[in-house]
Structure 1
Amino acid sequence: MSEQKDSIKAGKVLDTIGSLYNSLTPSSKRIADYVLSNPSEVSQLSIAELSQTVNAGEATIIRFCRTLGFKGFQGFKMELAIELSNLNQQEKSIFDTDVTAADNAETIGQKLKSTIDNVLSETINLLDFSALEEVTELISNAPSIYFFGVGSSGLAAENAKHKFMRIGLNVDALTNNHFMYMKASLLQPGDIAVGISHSGNSDETTKTIKIAKESGAVTVALTHNPRSDITQFADFVLVNGNRQGQLQGDSIGTKIAQLFILDLIYTSLVKRDVSYAQSKKLKTTQALLK
């Protein structure tokens, strides 16, 4: 089983806080809120000063830092300072803001483009590429691959089914919870079950992955929260980004991040045997044209 790394490289601190936010304790969320809103100030504070500012004990701050993979506050502060230094070298776009009621269509378009750029950068920061490569290897040799998801995550599952089928894989997508549970119970060792849930707390998808794991299948969770419910039953966790404006909801950022990771797997599979993938795509195209 591939797990999230215990430590964080510079450039991932703020994104990691965002991905873990919903699984934090109330006191840790207060610390996270302050760090996300005032990162430059935090990098200059002592632990005693931060403790007083966020009304949390020093031991709570240290636990917060360890939750992110650091040994203590000093290591956390050093990596945060490095990250901020790198960010400051990049000019912030005027469009790196939320959509407002006064925006015209062109401005909204520019802001949505910025959202896509941001969420893809965040996804690359959060994604465990060694886990992705292992998943790709297993999928390439799997008897069957199944994508599970409900709501908007179900759309990502259906998209993956279409792409992976075009290159000759035995693949299906299920988005109805009854069908999801039945199929998961019938999986065999070597089969791959990919559960897609942005929050990681979808009851239907979590139950499906649990059943699939009990059946002996290899289980993969595609989620924004690496410590959510679904990850308890996942052999591999692939973390997608979520950096987007408040008014945008999950209109574009989440979907793009999920599709991006699925496309990374798809492209890696094609790269392994380009001629085979091309021949299968040609056959499926001809079938559609007939």
Structure 2
Amino acid sequence: MLDRIKASLPSLAPAEQRVGRLVLQDPRSFASLPVSELAERAHVSKPTVVRFCRSMGYDGLSDFKLKLAGTVSEGVPFIHRSVDADDKTGDVLVKVVDNTVAAFLKYRNDASSHAIERAVDALMASWKARGRIEFYGAGNSGIVAHDAQHKFFRLGINAVAYSDGHMQVMGASLLSAGDCLVIVSNSGRTRDLMDAADIARKHGATVITITTSGSPMAQVGHIHLAADHPEGYDRYSPMTSRLLHLMVIDILATCLALRIGSTRLQPLLREMKNNLRSKRYA
């Protein structure tokens, strides 16, 4: 939040710039002082203080001070603001970015490194055993599953992704001990994914779930990677949840790549890059 204020200063009117500098100088005091004192310290009028807050994308001074207090006290922006029908483009930009950044920072602070370590151990064991690593998801989570397959495929890993329920059930039926199934689900309640998890477990595969805590899906896997966020799973177009799931996949892929080692991966990636050069314009 403070970084955004600093970056926005040049585009503000001179009077609003003085309010912005006052925020950056002492954000804790700004969050607690009345508007009359803030206006006096910044040498501006009271409406200018309110106008500055709205220029930064907030509903007014109270809304701005609430978010500012959360930022300076916890180190994580306390922001979850829905987009309103009458929002301007700048408002939408600020709200979507702030919601996403807040979710990422919250995940950084709340994520269990132990659970991630266990998941990487399981994936590494499947790679060593030349087993299968499969990614399942439905809807938006199906897109994440296919992105995961692409990332792991580039590491020379035998990975596939299915977003069709029938293919997931058939694929899970072919898994066995030494294989790994990673299920991505925003709601954690999709019936096809639950069925596939049960089948994979029955056949001895290790099941990793990336979903919200407290959901049925969180209970059916061997390893649960919590992906909690303030966005309801019944929203028509999930945004933050999809990006959060993609980030978890990136963490797993990066950790696994480090385990495999650059000695193995660098020649493979170098050859892949060279072979793709003919596909691009010079």
- Please classify the TM superposition score into its range, dividing by the shorter chain length: 0.5 to 0.7
Matched, 1:136 2:131: no
Question: Please, which of 192, 195, 207 is the counterpart of residue 207 of structure 1?
Answer: 195
Which residue of 1 is the match for residue 82 of structure 2? 98
Q: Which has the larger radius of gyration?
A: 2
Identical aligned residues as a percent: 24
In structure 2, relative to structure 1, the CA distance for the partners of 1:239 and 1:218 (3 Å cut) is same
Shift of 1:233: 2.2
What does 1:67-82 correspond to in 2, within 5 Å?
none
Shift of 1:140: 1.9
Shift of 1:284: 2.9
Matched, 1:242 2:226: no
Give the match's secondary structure for 1:219. Answer: strand
Which residue of 2 is the match for residue 109 of structure 1? 93
Matched, 1:160 2:148: yes
Maintained 8 Å contact 1:132/1:238: yes
What does 1:143-154 correspond to in 2, within 5 Å?
143-154=131-142
Q: TM-score, normalised by structure 1?
A: 0.64
CA distance in 2, matches of 1:110, 1:223: 26
Give the match's secondary structure for 1:102. Answer: coil
Maintained 8 Å contact 2:103/2:244: yes
The total of aligned residue pairs comes to 205
Shift of 1:86: 7.2
Which has the higher relative contact order, 1 or 2, with Cα contacts under 8 A spaced 6 or more apart?
A: 1
Which residue of 1 is the match for residue 256 of structure 2? 269
Structure 1 residues without counterparts, runs of 5 or longer: 1-84
Shift of 1:282: 2.4
Maintained 8 Å contact 2:70/2:77: no
Structure 2 residues without counterparts, runs of 5 or longer: 1-68
Which residue of 2 is the match for residue 229 of structure 1? 216
Deviations 1:11-58 (A, max 9, x none): xxxxxxxxxxxxxxxxxxxxxxxxxxxxxxxxxxxxxxxxxxxxxxxx
RMSD of aligned Cα (Å) = 2.7
CA distance in 1, matches of 2:220, 2:74: 39
Equivalent residue letter for 2:229: N
Shift of 1:258: 0.3
Q: TM-score, normalised by structure 2?
A: 0.65
Shift of 1:157: 0.2
In structure 2, relative to structure 1, the CA distance for the partners of 1:248 and 1:279 (3 Å cut) is farther
Equivalent residue letter for 1:147: F
